[in-house]
Amino acid sequence: MAKLYMKGPHKVDNQNPREETVKFLLDYSKALSVIDYKMMKFEALLN
């Protein structure tokens, strides 16, 4: 079997998202509309 773990701690210095990623997520969340109807939920992407 392959070993699927790393030896020792793995350090990643840059964990900040890019500006394009943040803009994409914010625009997507603004365009997403969730509609509750009785016992159902409908998602609509309004773009």
The pLDDT of residue 2 is: 66
Looking at per-residue confidence, does 42 or 13 come out higher?
42
Round the CA-based radius of gyration of the chain to a whole number and report it. 20
User: What backbone phi and psi angles, to 5 degrees, belong to 11?
Assistant: -105, 130
Task: Say whether pLDDT at 1 is over 80.
Answer: no
pTM: 0.52
Express each pLDDT in 8-41 by its tens digit: 677 777 788 899 999 999 998 899 899 999 999 9
Dist. CA 17–CA 21, nearest whole Å: 6
The pLDDT of residue 47 is: 66
Hey, where are the domains in the chain?
A: 21-47
Task: Say whether pLDDT at 43 is over 70.
Answer: yes
